[in-house]
Amino acid sequence: MLTADAQCVIPTDDLQADIPFFTKTLQMRMDTIYPADDPKVAVFSGHGISICIDKDAPGSPANINLLVEKPKDYASGKTELTAPNGTQFKILQKNPPLILPKTQHEFVVRRLVDKAPWIIGRAGMHYRDLIPNRLGGSIIASHIRIPDGGPVPDTVHYHTVGFQLIFCYKGWVDLVYEDQGEPLRLFAGNCVIQPPEIRHKVLYASDNIEVIEIGVPAEHVTTIDHDMELPTKVLNPEREFKGQKFVHNRADGSAWSDFRIPGFKCRDTTIAANTKNIAGVQVVRPNGAAIKSSKHNCDILFNFVMEGGMTLTASGQPPNELTSGDAFVIPPDLSTEYSDVSSDLELLEVSLPGEFTTYYDT
């Protein structure tokens, strides 16, 4: 591979005034300056960048972000600086901590028949937004599909997230994860959680693969890892990533038990236990018993209708007839009722936190 050094070229009207700013204020090193009798060009390096200040350069001043470990200890704590040549510098936190926005609660119903647009996203995947307002940035829920199967043009990467779920809705997809051994095939009805910063890669997908992806918060950074090769030589399935364990939950052989709402049964995916109750994921089906209306105290309660149909009635809202492909969010303390439930109804329920209290209307 051919290697080269890159420079950012910035014009100036007063090179002499720029020199102390770049060397003292920004603490960069001056590498070259010329000509000696009347300098017109100076090159400065530092913070992973090389900047060439040129009195004859065309164009306008630049905008540059400087990422530092301790912004308060840099440039007297200033977050924005302007060089004599007009270049704007923003001083930003390097590797900033993850901030989870406060949830803006709202009753949300998203129906497939409303024909929300499919957006082409990373690696050519098609995305449909299931929570348009994203509850104030606290969560993103995406219905993702890949129409044509085959190899996926993905790279080893990781996400800076608080929680992330991949539930295979239709088809299958091959994935590989850091410290989890050989690639796995995620079939319909199965799911994985991608703990914070676990390296992974999508390898191959069946035709018409569809998954439901949940990410907390809604806006999170995806970072490419250019050095790691997967699968890793180390096998460590019990490793914790920011306090969470990797989970590959399989539908086959999983036990069913009573759901939190009478009239339904559920299959727990063990995600609440492996995230230390950050989130819970359950697959829900009717059991033929009488259904009670209820409310809850969960911060975020998301549902996706995978099969069948039902009517969702919320206090103060008109009834919503739901079928497969529809999604809804029930805020805390809102009384709701599931009715007209088809025998083949199957819901995916995702809650944050994993354990919460359900109250039944009398």
**More confident site: 40 or 95:** 40
Of 53, 74, 70, the C-alpha closest to 8 is: 53
CB neighbours (10 Å) of residue 327?
23
- Domains of the chain, with CATH numbers? 8-93 (3.10.180.10), 117-232 (2.60.120.10)
Strand partners, 10: 53
What band does 122 get if pLDDT is binned at 50, 70 and 90? Answer: low
Amino acid 91: pLDDT? 93
Rounded to an integer, the average pLDDT of 152-164 is 94
**How many angstroms separate the first and last alpha carbons of the chain?**
71
pTM: 0.88
How far apart are alpha carbons 138 and 329 in whole angstroms? 13
| 205-245: pLDDT as tens digits | 999 999 999 999 999 989 999 999 999 999 999 999 999 99
What band does 333 get if pLDDT is binned at 50, 70 and 90? Answer: very high
b/e 48-84 (16+ beta carbons within 10 angstroms → b)? eebbbbbbeeeeeebebebeeeebeebbeeeeebebb
| 29-43: pLDDT as tens digits | 999 999 999 999 999
Using H for helix, E for strand and C for coil, what is the string for the chain?
Answer: CCCCCCCEEEECCCHHHHHHHHHHHCCCEEEEEECCCCCCEEEEEECCEEEEEECCCCCCCCEEEEEECCHHHCHHHCCEEECCCCCEEEEEECCCCCCCCCCCCCCEEECHHHCCCCEECHHHCEEEECCCCHHHHCCEEEEEEECCCEECCCCCEEEECCEEEEEEEECEEEEEECCCCCCEEEECCCEEECCCCCCEEEEEECCCEEEEEEEECCCCEEEECCCCCCCCCCCCCCCEECCEECEEECCCCCCCEECCCCCEEEEECCHHHHCCCCCEEEEEEECCCCCCCEEECCCEEEEEEEECEEEEEECCCCCEEEECCCEEECCCCCCEEEECCCCCCEEEEEEECCCCCEEECC
User: How far is the CA of 25 from the CAs of 20, 84, 94, 242, 307, in angstroms?
Assistant: 7, 12, 19, 36, 62
